[in-house]
Structures are given as structure tokens and as C-alpha cells.
Amino acid sequence: MRIMHTADWHIGKQLNHYRLVDEQWDAFNQLKQIAQTEHVDAIVIAGDVYDRSLASEDTVKMVNEMMAELNLHLHYPLLVISGNHDSAERLGIGRQWFADKQFYLKTQLAEAFTPVVLADTQFFLLPYFTPHDAQLYFHDDTLKTMGQAMARITATMQKQFLPDKRHLLVAHFFASGEQTTSTEVGGLNAVPLPTMAMFDQVMLGHLHSARALLNDKIKYSGTLMPFTVNAANQAKGVRIFDTNTGTNTFHTIQPLHRINVLTGSFADLIQQPPALPVDDFVAFQLTDQQPIPDLMNKLRQAYAKQRVLSVQRQNGLQSDLNQVEHTVDVQKLTPMELLDGFYHDVMQQPLTAMQRQLAQQCLDETLKEEK
Amino acid sequence: MRIMHTADWHIGKQLNHYRLVDEQWDAFNQLKQIAQTEHVDAIVIAGDVYDRSLASEDTVKMVNEMMAELNLHLHYPLLVISGNHDSAERLGIGRQWFADKQFYLKTQLAEAFTPVVLADTQFFLLPYFTPHDAQLYFHDDTLKTMGQAMARITATMQKQFLPDKRHLLVAHFFASGEQTTSTEVGGLNAVPLPTMAMFDQVMLGHLHSARALLNDKIKYSGTLMPFTVNAANQAKGVRIFDTNTGTNTFHTIQPLHRINVLTGSFADLIQQPPALPVDDFVAFQLTDQQPIPDLMNKLRQAYAKQRVLSVQRQNGLQSDLNQVEHTVDVQKLTPMELLDGFYHDVMQQPLTAMQRQLAQQCLDETLKEEK
């Protein structure tokens, strides 16, 4: 059978407060088209159907309509799990009624151990879970890490394997590395790949790039469209796994409105704006050194028919506005690294040895007080 | 056939911040018991399944479990509409899948005109709507009142009537009076009874008393339990309509925890508290004239095993605490009436002519500034 693997739809998501309703419907329609052209036999959504656990009424309606379209009107079997962005309870409403129409929606760990069998394949649908969920389910508080929990979960699933069927896992987490008791690769939250080695194919959600993991059997499908400036030029789409041939192919979805990253001087970008489709998104990378008064308003005027996402200074000077695309994960920096970067951005020179020493003293005292 | 008529479940409701989870499950279990003992063939919920449009995850789960229990496990056909407390979109999730199991859930006016036929009866399921909804649906902006809208709606429904079937309407609104273009009885929001005269039986939700309307064919079922002190001693339960005999019977549900209204002096009520079941609710009506310091804490200590809802002074003196049962709709009072009442409550005497004149001047100036 031919199984379409999708994930991370994030219906209801906004980019800088711009709603993506048209964009998400368009991507959905392309997905439908691919399903039909490629004659798929089932469609998987590997978590994060919604962008937020508490979605708006409009968004709830949109998801309900999309599922009805695929399942009730086009008669595709649907295999869906909840991701960390979904509310398991809210996404799970009505799921007891859905299975009769081959809409298999699993939102609780306890539901993951009864596989869905379609044609030649056993589908194990594992919703987003935490080690704590696994501790409760197995009555075993030694399951401290995602790796420990997954080893236990997949061993339990394996007991259900029928020898004449393909075994397919759908899950939503950060998979990485080769360590079984990994605290090194990806930290405690990463699921080591060997815990999933018994499956013929693993369809993952959570990471937004289809190339986040380069493994023959374990793959992310990525999102249906780019959600960040960094992902502006990433190929987005869906995967199709063929259980007969064992092949896994990627099928691109073109964004209705692209994220255009424009690099240049402020003067050039304002005076000679490139011709861009209406409603496209724009992210600026300015080469200017000087502060620019009223920068954002001027950019918004020059690009009034597009939607401005962010402005970044290429040469290290911090942007003049709130909408900055942070390319560094600030969570991972030490306080001193943060200060270094901030000082350099503002003053265009590093901290002196004396400044650094004073700062370190202040930090030490603050940390002492916290204890 | 024998049809159980229920309404206004208000799952998730709290009384003075006390959750009613146990109470609502208990009422639900009694309802199930009645359905089985009375051999009903279908169960109606005439709106306000939820207490709030945005229910908690726990509440969503609870409703989902109750519906699954009645429909999937006990195999009762379920006929449900949204009420004004429900979010049509959120309650309506999954309804396209439910009908196959005879769970008929209607949340949009447009869905009301296709009757559900079960055995000898056509069910017209009319969710909560506003005159504006009717204007949009009929493309007719002359439908200004609920009466005008309902006349149009029921005339449209009547065209679908099959002569050999019973015709039953399920709806959620304030029905009252005999005027067809009523601005007198019940105001613009009331639905006149004659607009529903073509139905053999009308099962309503919205008003919380089963005796809110004394009409042979048009009835409220009321809530499953009392939700206010005023309703403490009202009979609560469900109705059963028998299409063969045309009879309509009421079947009581006993509250798991009663609302006990205790009248007496503070001293007596504190010193000789009556024996009440643990977790029962208590509302006090004090006969005292004097202010009582620390009243609420003392009552809570004396009734530590019960749940105190409210304290009211029988003799007009305003209560000393926040938890007052307001019997007057303050929204409808003028500022001067509010001041009059407040002054009287605090000072136990009316405003003097001079005071009244000064207050009026202040009010006039304030209103002038607002313009």
C-alpha cells in the first residue's frame, strides 16, 4: 500500500500576527491533489494538527472540515496522533465514533498498543507523551528519559507484531543519535534511533524539516509550509511510503505566499523594491551600519502590498524594532555569553577585561542570592 | 416510541466555585437508570450541554464520555442541539461522523430543516439561533424578532412534514405567551407559542424549571439538578413522551448533594447546626437585625463539612459579605436607584432630599463629561 506521511500542520498558526488561513487551505488542497495523483491508500498526520492546545472556533471548524473532506468525502483512511501542540482532550473529541469510518485518532498513550491493521500493514499510533506518562502507564518510575520510555514502549508494541505484516510506527518527538541511554546526543528529551529499529518504517512529527533526520527507515515529513524565515527556502511537502517497493518519496507543496528574504541597503530596498506577489511575506537583511529612524514604518510603506515579517542587520547591529528574527537559541547561552553578544551588538566592540570582571562579580552575587 | 426529553445539562458548571463533577456524574447515572427502567427508545438533549462555550479539558472529556456511554455503549439514539451556553463550533466537532451511530447533533440553523426520522417520528432539531442568523439564512432582513424568525422557520419545516409521522421539535429558547408579533409578552426575545402549533410535541431547553411552561404540547424539561438557591426545592429530572399514547411524564432525579436553605438567627444556626450530609450545599437566611462581625468565617467553621453558598438577610439588611444572592437585576436599575438601594442597605434610612439633589448633580456632571 501507498501511505502518505504528513505532520505538523499547525492549523491556526500565525506568522507575526498574520493569519495563514488561505495559505493553510491552499497547502491542504495541494496535499489532496498529491494524494489523488499518487493514488495513496491512507494518510498519516504525525501530530501537531493544531498550533495551540486551545484553538479558536474558526480553527476548530477548519480542522473538522479538513478531516471530513479527506475521510468522509474522499474516503481516505486517516491515521492521526496528537502532538505536543495539540490538547489531547480537545483533539480527541469524538474519536470513539471516527474509527468506523477508518479515521483512527489516538491521543492517549494507553491507546498506542492496539495496532490498526490496514491491508499489509500494522500501524502503531503513538501520541505525544512524556516519561511521566510512561511511568504511570507501566507503573514503573525508573523510566526517567524519553529513551528509557521508548525502549519499553516499543518492546511492548513488538509483542503485537504479526510476522506477515509490515510494522509501521507513527510518533511525535525529537529523535536523534545512536545512544540508548543518551544524555549526550540531544539530551534527555531525545529518543535514540535504536529504540525504533524493529519497525519497517517510522513516520515522525515534531521537527519541521523533512531532512531533520537522514535515516533510511526513520523520517520526518516536515511541515506543509515554511513557518520561519530560516525555513523560507526549505522544500516543504509530504512523503509517500510504498510498502511493496519499500521506497520513500518526497512530494513538494508550493507555498501560496512565499517568505522572501531581501538583502541590501535600506536605501536600495526602499527605492527599488523588487516586484513581489501581493500578500507575500518579506524578511529584510539590512547591510547598513547606521541607526535608521522610523525604519519599520518606511519599510511597511514601501512594501505595503506584502506582509513584513522581520528585519535583521547583517553586520551585527541590533535591529531598531521588536520584530527580530533570532537565529541563535538564547536559551542555550550562558548569562555572560548573552551579555557579550548584547554589548557587541550595541557598542560594536567587545567587553574590556575590566568590564568583563565587573560583570562576572555582579552575576556571581546574583546567583548567590538566588540560592 | 418513548422519547426521553432532557435539557440544560450545563456540564462543567460550578456553584460558588464549587465544582459539580460528582453531582453531574450522579445525575447522569440516574438518567441512564431511568432510560433503562422506562425502556426509552431515544434521548433528546435540548441545548446547553456545556455550561460555557470554552469548557475545560476535563469537562470536554466528561461530555465526550457521557455521549459515548449513552450512544456507543448503551446504543440509544441521541438527538442533541446546541444551546446559547454552548459553542456551536466546539460542541459540533465530529458531528459528521456521529450520525452513522444515530447520534444526531445539530449546531447550525441550516441543519435544522432536514428532519431525523426514527420509527414513527420526524425530529426537527433546531439549535440555538438569533434573529440575525435567520436573516442570513433566509436572506430576509425583515426577521427582526424571535417570533418572526420562528414563524418563518416552522413554516419551512412544515413543508417537510410526512403525514403518517409524528412531528416533534427540539429547540432552545424562551417560549412564552400567545402573541404572534409579541413585544408585550416576554419581549422581543420570546418565541410565541402559536408559531409551534403544527408540532405534536415540542421539547425545549433554556428555562431551568420543568414547570416553566404549562402547555400540553410545548414543554421544558428543566435541568438535571438545582443550580440556584431559589431552585433548591424544585423537582428536577427528565420527561418522557410516548408517541403511542401521547402522554408526557416527569421522572425525578435526586440531587447527590442538596441545596439546604437554613433560616434562623445567627446564634441558633451556629450553636445548633442541623445534621446535614457531608458536602451538601447550604444557603443561609438570617433573621438577625445587627451587623455580625466575621460572619462568613464563623458560618464556614460551623458548617465545615458542608459547602456554604450564600447568606441572605431576611429583614432587608444587606449581607456582610460578598456571597450575596442577588435577586434584583442590577443591570436594569438607574444609577440613582442603585445609590438609593445602597444607601438604604448601609444606613437603614433613605436619602434626604438634599443628599438626593447633590447626588443627582454629580451624576449629571459625570454624564456630561462622558459625552
Mean pLDDT of A280-300: 91
Contact indicator for B6, B31 with CB cutoff of 8 Å: yes
C-alpha cell at A247: 521506497
Question: Which pLDDT tens digit goes with each residue over A234-248?
Answer: 999 999 999 999 999
Q: Which residues of A touch B87 (CB under 8 A)?
A: 57
Q: How far apart are CA B204 and CA B217, in angstroms?
A: 11
- Reported as a pLDDT band with limits 50, 70 and 90, residue A319 is very low
- Please give the residue that has the higher pLDDT: either B312 or A69: A69
Mean pLDDT of A134-141: 97
Query: Taking CB atoms and an 8 Å limit, are B61 and A89 in contact across chains?
Result: yes
Q: Is B44 helix (H, G, I), strand (E, B) or coil?
A: strand
The C-alpha angle with vertex A98 and arms to A172 and A125, in degrees rounded to 5, equals 25
Mean pLDDT of B278-303: 92
Q: Which residues of B touch A101 (CB under 8 A)?
A: 97, 100
- Reported as a pLDDT band with limits 50, 70 and 90, residue A351 is confident
Q: Is B100 on the interface with A (CB under 8 A)?
A: yes
- Measuring CA to CA, how many Å separate B269 from each of A213, B243, B265, B291, B362? 71, 50, 6, 16, 43
Q: Which of A89, A98, A103, A111 to mutate to test the interface with B (most CBs of B within 10 A)?
A: A89
How much is the mean pLDDT over chain B? 90
Q: Is A101 on the interface with B (CB under 8 A)?
A: yes
> φ and ψ at A320, to 5 degrees?
-85, 5
Question: Which pLDDT tens digit goes with each residue over A94-119?
Answer: 999 999 999 999 999 999 999 999 99
Structure confidence at residue A188 (pLDDT) = 62
Q: Which of B369, B366, B281 is nearest to B18 (CA)?
A: B281
- Please give the residue that has the higher pLDDT: either A175 or B344: A175
Question: Which pLDDT tens digit goes with each residue over A37-55?
Answer: 999 999 999 999 999 999 9
Structure confidence at residue A73 (pLDDT) = 97
Burial of A325 (0-12, 13-18, 19+ CB in 10 A): middle
C-alpha cell at A238: 509530504
Question: Which pLDDT tens digit goes with each residue over B201-249?
Answer: 999 999 999 999 989 999 999 999 999 999 999 999 999 999 999 999 9
How much is the mean pLDDT over chain A? 90
Q: Is B60 on the interface with A (CB under 8 A)?
A: yes
Q: Which of A70, A93, A95 to mutate to test the interface with B (most CBs of B within 10 A)?
A: A93
Examine the pLDDT at A159 and tell me if it is beyond 90: yes
* Beta-bridge partners for B169: B124, B202
CA A292, distance to chain mean position in Å, is 34
CA-nearest residue of chain B to A69? B96
User: Nearest CB to B93: which of A71, A93, A101?
Assistant: A93
Query: Taking CB atoms and an 8 Å limit, are A94 and B90 in contact across chains?
Result: no
Mean pLDDT of A218-239: 96
Mean pLDDT of B90-104: 96
Q: Is the ipTM of this complex over 0.90?
A: no
Structure confidence at residue B369 (pLDDT) = 66
Query: Taking CB atoms and an 8 Å limit, are B68 and A96 in contact across chains?
Result: yes
Contact indicator for A247, A239 with CB cutoff of 8 Å: no
Query: Taking CB atoms and an 8 Å limit, are B93 and A58 in contact across chains?
Result: no
- Reported as a pLDDT band with limits 50, 70 and 90, residue A336 is confident
- Closest approach of A75 to chain B, Cα-based (Å): 12
Q: Which residues of B touch A58 (CB under 8 A)?
A: 89
- Closest approach of B99 to chain A, Cα-based (Å): 9
- Reported as a pLDDT band with limits 50, 70 and 90, residue B322 is very low
Contact indicator for B208, B222 with CB cutoff of 8 Å: yes
The residue to which cell 523588487 is assigned: A274
Query: Taking CB atoms and an 8 Å limit, are B89 and A61 in contact across chains?
Result: yes
